[in-house]
Amino acid sequence: MRIGLVGTGTVGGGVIEILEAKATAYREKLGVNLELACICARTEEEVAPFKAKGYTTSTDAMSMIADPSIQVLVELAGGYEMPRQWITAALESGKHVVTANKAMLAKYGHELFPLAEKKGCHILFEAAVGGGIPIIRSIQEGFVGSEVEHLSCIINGTCNYILSRMTEAHLSFEDALKEAQAKGYAEANPTFDIEGVDSAHKTALLASLCSGKYVDFEKIHVTGVSHISAEDIENAKELNATIKLLGLYIRSEAGVDARVHPCLVPNNHLLANVNNVINAVYLQCDNLGPTLQTGAGAGRLPTASAVVADLVSLARSTDSGKRLPMPMGWFNKENAATLVPIEETSARYYLRFTTRDACGVLASITGIFSENRISIESIIQKGVTDPGKVSIVVVSERTEERKILSALKAIDALAAVAEKSQMIRFLK
């Protein structure tokens, strides 16, 4: 199988490295032939080391894609518009596609997947979600005998690292972020990760695969982790829970409930112990019961390894005739999921109020809970943090989010409340 690769950065370089090491073994042991026919990057400088090794190289992805001898496009350049054009051109000319670009798939998958189905081509994207965890393959193939009822996942290594360090080392959010940046686990501009956008891209793809409906990442509720304080982390510990940023999919009568937000995960749940940059996907299926997969979520070789696994799968079909591509034509705007609005979801809630040390404030707060018909599971009144301030933590019983939002609005309007109140959902 003749491969055209675009992008020689971290992951692209890793793919070349693995193919150099393993192509012979794949030929001999699996009978598949993975040939790097052309390596393409933006500049001559970037492709020079590969040219020096004897590879055919290019700085013009479109010409490479126009070469009829290329059978599969591996897109590892990143970005949105160029990959969209390359992949469209590749599919139009009957080429298969392997990509790790979750952002682009979340944004343009609704165009590309139907085009692929129309052209009888595969788009494989195992590396786009969960790096080294074979979760796409598991949902598309391994769990096909079962219906996914619930999925919760830790799929952003940056956020998981920050929250883990806040939990283990009692760091503030800011210090944990600085540490993550120093270790290369967070970008200089970390917004995309810490505000949950990356998790939303991946959650939208997973929720689409689980539901068989197109889930638009721009329409799902997203809350990041930058508002989580050291105090919340310590309070979670007292409540026997660990705060994690989760992507969630819940099959519901009302439609697709997909969202990204921090959760208090009970410490006896397997996800509570998935720490640092490790990713995890927890699934509850009707026939299969609960399953968990954990592994490296990012990094050069784990991600490259997932790309290479897709190439081997592709070669196993294309080198020996034809395998029915996984139909993904349903991933289109006409088949968009009806999303459950966040106000209509329900959970147990962790609520933290910072009040002036005034008599009667606890009575006001519990009164507002009562007016909104929210049952309280427990209340912890903490010692004064800042002089003149009291921290009150309330855990609600399971209730609807709109009741909580209404209560929070009323509570934040109280004169005795000193800061915007904190709200974090429990996973269970």
What are the residue numbers of the active site? 202
Binding residue for a copy of itself, selected from 313, 372, 391, 422, defined by CB under 8 A: 313
Minimum distance between the CB of residue 79 and a copy of itself, rounded to whole angstroms?
24
Q: Residue 32 interacts with a copy of itself (CB under 8 A)?
A: yes
Binding residue for a copy of itself, selected from 54, 289, 383, 387, defined by CB under 8 A: 289
Q: In whole angstroms, what is the distance from residue 198 CA to residue 247 CA?
A: 10
Minimum distance between the CB of residue 87 and a copy of itself, rounded to whole angstroms?
21
Q: Which residues contact 423 (CB under 8 A, 6 or more apart)?
A: 349, 350, 351, 404, 408
The residues in 253-272 that bind a copy of itself, with binding defined as CB under 8 A, are 270
Run of H or E including 88: helix 81-92
Minimum distance between the CB of residue 46 and a copy of itself, rounded to whole angstroms?
23
Per-residue binding string, a copy of itself, 205-244, x by CB under 8 A, is -------x--------------------------------
Minimum distance between the CB of residue 314 and a copy of itself, rounded to whole angstroms?
11
Binding residue for a copy of itself, selected from 63, 191, 273, 370, defined by CB under 8 A: 273
Binding residue for a copy of itself, selected from 172, 181, 291, 346, defined by CB under 8 A: 291
Q: Residue 299 interacts with a copy of itself (CB under 8 A)?
A: yes
Q: Which span sits near a copy of itself by CB under 8 A: 52-60, 151-159, 304-312, 397-405?
A: 304-312
Binding residue for a copy of itself, selected from 312, 358, 362, 379, defined by CB under 8 A: 312
Q: Residue 169 interacts with a copy of itself (CB under 8 A)?
A: no
Q: At what angle do helices 173-182 and 157-169 cross, to 10 degrees?
A: 120
Binding residue for a copy of itself, selected from 166, 285, 395, 414, defined by CB under 8 A: 285
Angle at CA of residue 30, ends 28 and 32, nearest 5°: 85
Binding residue for a copy of itself, selected from 62, 89, 230, 326, defined by CB under 8 A: 326
Cβ 64 vs Cβ 70: under 8 Å:
yes
Run of H or E including 142: none
Q: In whole angstroms, what is the distance from residue 137 CA to residue 17 CA?
A: 23
Which pairing describes strands 2-6 and 72-75: parallel, antiparallel, or unpaired? parallel
Cβ 172 vs Cβ 191: under 8 Å:
no
Q: How far is CA 123 from the centre of its chain?
A: 19
Q: Residue 27 interacts with a copy of itself (CB under 8 A)?
A: no
Cβ 262 vs Cβ 223: under 8 Å:
yes
Binding residue for a copy of itself, selected from 27, 150, 227, 316, defined by CB under 8 A: 316
Q: Which span sits near a copy of itself by CB under 8 A: 78-86, 236-244, 321-329, 400-408?
A: 321-329
Run of H or E including 153: strand 148-154
Q: In whole angstroms, what is the distance from residue 203 CA to residue 340 CA?
A: 15
Q: Residue 293 interacts with a copy of itself (CB under 8 A)?
A: yes
Total residues belonging to the chain: 428
Q: Binding-site residue total for a copy of itself (CB under 8 A)?
A: 59
Run of H or E including 99: strand 96-99
In three-state secondary structure terms, 401 is helix
Q: Residue 194 interacts with a copy of itself (CB under 8 A)?
A: no
- Among 425, 384, 427, residue whose Cα is nearest residue 401: 425
Positions in the binding site for a copy of itself (CB under 8 A): 14, 18, 22, 26, 29-32, 126, 132-134, 137-138, 141-146, 212, 270, 273, 278, 285-296, 299, 301-302, 304-309, 312-313, 315-317, 319-324, 326-327, 330
